[in-house]
Amino acid sequence: MKIRRRNIIGLLLSLMLLLCGCGEEQGTTGAIDHKTPVNDGGTIVVGVSQVGSESVWRSANSKSVQEVFTKENGYYLIFDNARQKQENQVKAIRNFISLQVDYIVFSPITEDGWETVLKEAKDAGIPVILMDRKLENKYDGLYTTWVGSDFYGEGVKAGRWLEDYLGDKTEQVNMVVLKGTKGASSMIGRTKGFQDVAKEHSNWKILEEADADYTTAKGEEEMERLLKTYPDIDVLVSQNDDMTFGALKAISAAGKSTGVGGEITVISFDAVKRALELVEKGVINLDVECNPNQGEKLAEVITRLEKKQNIEKAYYVDEMIFTPEKVGLYIKDRTY
C-alpha cells in the first residue's frame, strides 16, 4: 500500500479542527463528508482552490474538477471556493499545507501576489498545479505545471476574425472592450492578443477598455456607461459570455441592435451554451471558445507525477471559434 504523508483519518480530524466555524459561508469543504469513515488505500488527497463562481464557465470548470477527483477514482478532494478574493485563496492554500495534502491545484485569481504562500507549499514539499489562469514568470520555480487555455491566442483569434469580417473597410471602426478581472492572466492575454491585431489596422480605434470583472452585473453597468459616453460604437469585444449577457441588455435598453446586420458587432469569449444559442440567432457575431473541461488533464498530470514520469510545464486544452454558420452543430452537445 502506498504511504501517504498523512493518513486520511488524521487528515479529516485536522480538517475538522481547521475549518470548524468556517461553515458553508466560506465555501470550503465542497466534497467532504465528515461522517463517512474513509480508509486510506493509497487515496490521493487533492486540495483545490477555485477562484469563485463568477461565471457559467467557472461553474463548469469546478464541475469538471469535482467529477474527476472522486472517491471512485482514488482521490479525496478538498474543494475551496474563494469567492473572487485573493486572501481567501491564500488562506485555503495554507489550510491545504497544514493538512499535508498530496497535491495543491489552484486557479490564481491574479498573476501576482503569491510569493510567500507558494514558497510555503514548496518548503512543505507539496506540488502545486495551476489550473486555468497563469502566474507571472517569476513564479516558474514555485509550481510544477499548468493546465489551461492560450489566452493570448484567444485574443488574436478574435482580432483575426474581425479582420476578415471587416474586409477592406477603410473607415474608422470604433471599438470598446469589456475586460475581465484586473490582474487575471486570462484578461491580460485576451487584451494583449486583440490589441496586437488592432495595432496592425490604422482604422481600428479602441475607444476604451473597461473593467467589468467577468460578471453580468458589471458588464451591464459598464456597457450602459460606455453607450452614454460614446454614441458611435461599432464593435464590442467582451472578454466573457457573462459580461456579454449584461452588455446585450444595456445595448437593447439603449435601443440599439447587435450581431449580424445590427449596429454593433459583438465578439464574446467562453462559448457557453446560452451564448452559442445567441450566436445561432445572430445576436452575437463571434464566440471564441475557452474550454473549462480541465479535470481530466489535471488527473492525467497527477497520475504521471505519481508514476514519477516526466511532465511538461504547460498543457493547453483544445479550443475553437463559433460563428452563426457552423454553431448549430455544437449547441446540443454543450453541457454548460
- Considering the rule CB under 6 A, would residue 220 count as an interface residue with ligand GYE? no
Which one of 38-46, 50-58, 202-210, 306-314 is the stretch in contact with ligand GYE (CB under 6 A)? 50-58
**Which of 55, 62, 145, 285 touches ligand GYE (CB under 6 A)?**
55
**Helix (H) / strand (E) containing 145:** strand 145-148
Q: 269: helix, coil or strand?
A: strand
- Considering the rule CB under 6 A, would residue 133 count as an interface residue with ligand GYE? yes
Put the strands of the sheet holding 265-270 in their side by side order. 204-211, 173-179, 235-238, 265-270, 286-289, 321-322
Q: How far is the CB of 270 from ligand GYE (least distance, A)?
A: 5
Distance of alpha carbon 188 from alpha carbon 48, whole angstroms: 23
Distance of alpha carbon 209 from alpha carbon 191, whole angstroms: 9
Which residue lies nearer to ligand GYE by CB, 173 or 246?
246
- Considering the rule CB under 6 A, would residue 186 count as an interface residue with ligand GYE? yes
Distance of alpha carbon 216 from alpha carbon 314, whole angstroms: 30
Q: How far is the CB of 191 from ligand GYE (least distance, A)?
A: 12
Distance of alpha carbon 5 from alpha carbon 250, whole angstroms: 53
Distance of alpha carbon 129 from alpha carbon 113, whole angstroms: 17
Which residue lies nearer to ligand GYE by CB, 265 or 268?
268
144-158 burial by CB neighbour count: b if 16+ within 10 A, else e?
A: bbbbbbbbbebbbbb
- Considering the rule CB under 6 A, would residue 213 count as an interface residue with ligand GYE? no
Interface characters, 94-123, with ligand GYE (x: CB under 6 A): ------------------------------
Q: How far is the CB of 227 from ligand GYE (least distance, A)?
A: 22
- Considering the rule CB under 6 A, would residue 214 count as an interface residue with ligand GYE? yes
Query: What are the CA-CA distances from residue 230 to residues 162, 211, 225 (Å)?
Result: 20, 16, 9
Which residue lies nearer to ligand GYE by CB, 4 or 297?
297
- Considering the rule CB under 6 A, would residue 269 count as an interface residue with ligand GYE? yes
Q: If you search the block for the grid coordinates 445567441, which residue do you land on?
A: 278
Q: How far from the centroid of its chain's Cα atoms is residue 335's Cα?
A: 16
**Which of 49, 81, 95, 240 touches ligand GYE (CB under 6 A)?**
240
**Which of 132, 234, 280, 289 touches ligand GYE (CB under 6 A)?**
132
Sign of the C-alpha dihedral computed for residues 29, 30, 32 and 33 taken in this order: positive
- From the CB of residue 200, how many other CB atoms can be counted at a distance below 10 Å? 9
Q: How far is the CB of 34 from ligand GYE (least distance, A)?
A: 30
**What percent of the chain is helix, strand and coil (3-state, nearest 5)?**
40, 20, 40
Interface characters, 272-291, with ligand GYE (x: CB under 6 A): ------------------x-
**Which of 49, 57, 118, 197 touches ligand GYE (CB under 6 A)?**
57
Q: How far is the CB of 241 from ligand GYE (least distance, A)?
A: 7
- Considering the rule CB under 6 A, would residue 194 count as an interface residue with ligand GYE? no
Residues that bind ligand GYE (CB under 6 A): 54-55, 57-58, 132-133, 149, 180, 184, 186, 214, 240, 242, 269-270, 290
